[in-house]
Amino acid sequence: MPLIIQKYGGKSLATPEDVRQVAELILRRVESGEQVVVVVSAMGDTTDRYVRMARAVNPEPAGRELDVLLSVGERISIAMLALALNGLKKDIAVSLTGAQAGIITDTVHTAARIVEIRPLRVREVLDQGRIPVIAGYQGITTDKNISTLGRGGTDATAVGLAVALGADRVEFMKDVDGIHSADPKLIPTAKIIDKLSFEEALEMMGCGAKILQAPAVEMAAEHGVTLAVGNSKTGVAGTIVTDKPLVRQTLTSVHVTEQVDCLTGLQPDAFYRLLDTIRDCGLSPLMSFHHENTCAVTLRPGEARYLSANSCEVDRSLDLVTLIGPGVTSNNDLARAIRALYTEFKSSIVAMTATSTRISLLMKDRHAKSFAEKAHELCLRSPKTGGALPPT
C-alpha cells in the first residue's frame, strides 16, 4: 500500500470551509487505497498574529516562551482537521503534536533543526488504519522543551517524516497548481512545469522563487525522496521534483528580481570578506563575480541593510534576470537562441555569470522584463509543447 505524506499550508486551511474541503480530499485518497500522513501549518496568518501579540507584552520576545506561544497555531490546525475528518468518518483521524509524532530537535529556540525523528506513534496510528494529522513547524528539544523550526519549518517536518517512515513521496498542497516557469504576475504566459530536478528547484529558490523551504529540498535530495507540488482545492499535483537527472535540454524557468542591492567598489580582499559576512548573516547572494579588478555582490532588495559593509557602495538601479535549465550554456539550439538575445540586449547587460544549469544577467535601463519575456518564449517552445526554437 503506497504511503504518501501530504503537507497543507496555512492558506489551504484559512477557513472552516477550507478545512472541510481538505478533509474530503484526504479521505478520498485514503479510500482509494493509499496510506496518508498529513502535516499542517497554522491556519491563515495565525503565526504572524501570535508574534504581534507577543510584542504587545514584550518588545523583543524570544526563547522558550515564544516557542510555546508559536506552537499553538499548528495545534489548532491539527485539531480542526482531525475533527473535520472524523465528521466525515468516525474516528478516522488522530491529531499529533510535533512532540507526540517524535520530532526531536536541537535546543535553538525559534530556529531549531530536526536531529532525529522517532515516529512510533505515527506508525501505530497507520497500523490502525487511521490518518495521523501532525503539527508541522514544531518538535521537542533534546532537553524536553517545545521548539519551533523557523519560517518554512513545516516543509522540513514533512520531508523528515517521509525519510523516517520510508514514504513514497511528499505532496505539498498549496493555492497553486504547481511550480511556474516564471512569475505569472510578471509574465502572464508562464506555464506549470511538469518535472524538475532537485538541482533546478534549488537554483530557482536561490533566485527568490517561493517554492519550498531550501533545507527541506536539500534533505529530500540527500535521501532521494520524490516531492510533488499541487493544488489543495483539486488535489492535483502539477509538478514533480525528482532526484533523477532529466534527459532534456530546455529552458525550465525565467526569474526577474527588480532593483536588487548590488554592492560594488570592492577590492578582491574585501570581496571575499564580504561573502563571509553575508553567510554569517544567513543570507545568500543572488549573484557574485570577480573579474580582474571588478568585484560585486548582488543581494535581494533591502538585504544590504543587514550588513555593516561601509567600504562598498550599494547600487539599486539594476535588475537581475536568471535563466535556469539543463543545457542553457551547452552548444545546442537553446544556447544559440539565448546568445542571440544577448546580442539584442548587449547594451543593457552589465555583468553575467553562468553554470551548466543557470545564467544570471545584471541589467540596466529597466530592460530586464523585456529580456525575460523574450527568453520565456524559449520555455514555451520546449520539446514538451512541440514548438521549434527560433533560428539564430
Q: What's the pLDDT score for residue 265?
A: 80
- Give the closest residue to 167 by CA, choosing from 289, 33, 37, 41: 37
pLDDT tens, residue order, the chain (392 aa): 899 999 999 899 999 999 999 999 999 999 999 999 999 999 988 888 999 999 999 999 999 999 999 999 999 999 999 999 999 999 999 999 999 999 999 999 999 999 999 999 999 999 999 999 999 999 999 999 999 998 889 999 999 999 999 999 999 999 889 999 999 988 999 999 999 989 889 988 888 788 898 889 999 999 999 999 999 998 888 999 998 766 566 788 999 999 999 998 888 888 888 888 888 887 888 998 877 677 889 999 998 888 876 667 888 999 999 999 886 777 678 888 888 999 999 999 998 988 888 899 999 988 999 999 999 988 866 544 333 333 33
CATH code of the domain containing 126: 3.40.1160.10
Check residue 143 and give its pLDDT.
95
Among candidate residues 123, 141, 175, the one where a domain is terminated: 175
Whether residue 265 sits in one domain with residue 150: no
Q: For residue 233, is it within any domain?
A: no
CATH number at residue 323: 3.30.2130.10
Tell whether 164 and 261 lie within a shared domain. no
Residue where a domain terminates, one of 144, 175, 206: 175
Q: How many domains does the chain have?
A: 2
- For residue 266, give every residue at least 6 positions away whose Cβ sits within 8 Å of its Cβ, in sequence order, or none: 274, 295, 296, 297, 311, 312
What's the domain range around 109?
A: 3-175
Q: Residue 360 domain-assigned?
A: yes
Residues 259, 152 share a domain? no
Q: Could you tell me if 119 and 166 are in contact, meaning their C-beta atoms sit under 8 angstroms apart?
A: no
Q: Are residues 168 and 258 in the same domain?
A: no
Looking at residue 310, its pLDDT comes to 60
Q: To the nearest 10°, the Cα dihedral for 249, 206, 98, 167?
A: 10
Q: Please report the pLDDT score of residue 326 as a whole number.
A: 80
C-alpha–C-alpha distance, residues 155 and 134, integer Å: 12
Burial 85-123 (b: 16+ CB within 10 A, else e): bbeeeeebbbbbbbbbbbbbbeeebbebebeebebebbe
Q: Which of residues 175, 205, 224 is at a domain's end?
A: 175
What's the CA gap between 190 and 195, in Å, rounded? 15
Greatest Cα pair distance, the chain, in angstroms, is: 70
Residue 172 DSSP one-character state: E
Rg (CA), the chain: 23
